[in-house]
Structure formats: C-alpha cells, structure tokens
Structure 1
C-alpha cells in the first residue's frame, strides 16, 4: 500500500521526527496534537478549556488537509496531565462530535511537551 504524508500550515508544524498525519490505504493516522497555535507555535493562553478547544481545532485542520472531517475519527486517544479535567474534555468533545462517538482512551500522564495539559491523537477512516 502507498503512504501519503498529510501536512497543513493550519495546524502546528511537527516539532520532532514525525508527520502531522500519514494516510495508508483508507486510513489516516493522526499524530498527537497539542494546544499550540499554528501561527505562533506557542501554547494558547486561557487554561485547560482553551487548550482543549485548540487541540480540536488542530485535529480538525489535519483531518481537513487529508480530505475529510473530525467526525470521521474512529479512535481518539486523549492524554491529560491532570485527570480531574476528564469531565471538561467530555463536555468540550460533545461540541465537536456527534453520535456515534469514536472509540476513545483517556490517559493520565506525568507531563507533555511544551508544558501543555492535553494532547490527542487518532485514527480516521477515509470515506
């Protein structure tokens, strides 16, 4: 199967040895997105709610660059430095997804790059 690298300037540029997303066949593998603002590559200000919204905006941009939408995510992984923000993630996620919701994992981690409180990656079907 062929591999296609997905890249957009509407999401933060990779800060390591990875691509924003890779399409293999009909599946798009989305790299972790954090609360970086694409234009500045700085963490958005405003606390965890602003960070979560920025992550969903970044994931949306990468999904659109791959020719699809956020709604096509089949599996979403959420990494939180403070699991007490789990309810906040659920509330905000409901603003970006409609039922049926994707499969999901939410994990507590010690820290994330650039000191953000949340990062998400996922797998998306290409329709």
Structure 2
C-alpha cells in the first residue's frame, strides 16, 4: 500500500501532508460549489414565450429545480391562441415550454413531471400524439385531467424540470490527485509519528 517508510525524508513527508490538506480543501470547495444554489429562488423570464396573462412568472427556479407555469397554445408574438384545433394548440404549448426551458438553461430532457389539462378529455389521444414527439425517450411522469381552461384554450401544459449537477473539471482533477495521494497518506502520517523529533529539529535548524 504505499512506500517503504525507510525511504522517506522529512521533506517528502511534509509535501505529502501539504497534499493531503490541499485535497481536503479542494473537496470542501467542490462540495460547497455544488450546494451553493440549493434553496435559492430566482425568477425565469423567457423572451421567446408568450407574455403572462396574469400575475405569474414564466418559471421559478429553486436550487436546481425549475417550476414552469402552465402554457397555452398562445402565439408568442400576438399573445393570442393559435388556430387549427387542439393539435395546433398542443404543439404551440410545447414550443412555449421549450422557450421557458431554454431561458432557464434547461431542455426537454430535463423535464421530470408534466401536468396536462384538457378542456375535454376526448382530445387526449390527439394531444398525446403531439406530446410523444417532444419526449421520445424516457418521458417524464405525467398527470392529466379535465377542467375549464382560461382564454378558451383547449389544452394547457405545465412542467417541472431538474437541472443536472454542474460539472466541475477542477474538482474532478482534485479528486484524481487525492486518489493518487491516498497511498502516501498513511505512510506519511506514520513517518511523522516515528520521526517527529527529527522533523522538528530539521525545520527549526
């Protein structure tokens, strides 16, 4: 597991100790960076999505979770419902969700839950066919029900997304360095225990 203790000198042992402390600090910083945004709340505004029709935000980000408000099949330019029936409305609602996701730094693959609201459940199959094109693999969890929808819309879709953990190349490098130095941690510690007096004298004089 490590080197022969007799091959150590005080400088090597001291360098090993410094490396151990540096690894501990790097791992602590990486953990702090990964948790820094947990619990923080920020408002997401999507310039490419329709303007909100009431006092609500396009989305709220809390930590790595993004809560999207329901989207109707509104044209983002005119802010009116698209024509062509429930299929066109569903398509536009999904595009609007995509615009909000992009504004939050996410995409469709980050969606973990969708709620679909239908003015009439007979439109379920038609909406489902459009919906499946946006979530072709590992689709998110979903709930659907019938209710009256504002603006006379035929369908409304809301979503929850979770951003992946941030990649920290520096942290990964530190972990690799720590793993490499792990084999010298115990020998270094034992060396200090056996030669503490000699190390003290070397440093002092």
Task: Report the CA distance between 1:42 and its aligned residue.
Answer: 0.6
Give me the TM-score of the superposition, normalised by structure 1: 0.96
**C-alpha displacement at 1:8, in angstroms?**
1.3
Q: CA deviation at 1:44?
A: 0.3
Aligned pair partner of 2:87 in 49, 58, 73: 49
Asked if residue 125 in structure 1 is aligned to residue 154 in structure 2, the reply is no
Which residue pairs with 1:63 in the alignment?
101
Return the match for 1:15 from 38, 53, 56. Answer: 53
Q: TM-score, normalised by structure 2?
A: 0.60
Query: What is residue 73 of structure 2 aligned with on the other side?
Result: 35
CA deviation map 1:94-113 (0-9, x unaligned): 1111221100001111x211
Q: Where is the helix percentage greater, Structure 1 or Structure 2?
A: 2
Displacement over 2 Å in runs of 4+: none
Cα displacement string for residues 43-91 of structure 1 (whole angstroms, at most 9, x for unaligned residues): 0011111000000000000001000102211000000001011111211
Question: Matches of 2:65 and 2:91 in 1, distance apart?
Answer: 24
Q: Higher Cα Rg: structure 1 or 2?
A: 2
* Separation (CA, whole Å) in 2 of partners of 1:49 and 1:34: 12
Structure 1: gaps spanning 5 or more residues: none
Partner of 1:6: 44
**d(CA) in 1 for partners of 2:84, 2:127:** 15
User: 1:71, 1:98 within 8 Å by CA — same for their partners in 2?
Assistant: no
Tell me how large the CA RMSD over aligned residues is.
Answer: 0.8
Runs of 5+ consecutive residues of structure 2 not aligned to the other structure:
1-38, 165-205
After superposition, give the CA deviation of every residue in 1:8-59 in whole Å (9 maximum; x if it has no partner): 1211111111100000001000000001111001100111110000000000
Comparing both structures, which one devotes a greater share of its residues to strand? 1
**Matched position secondary structure for 2:61:** strand
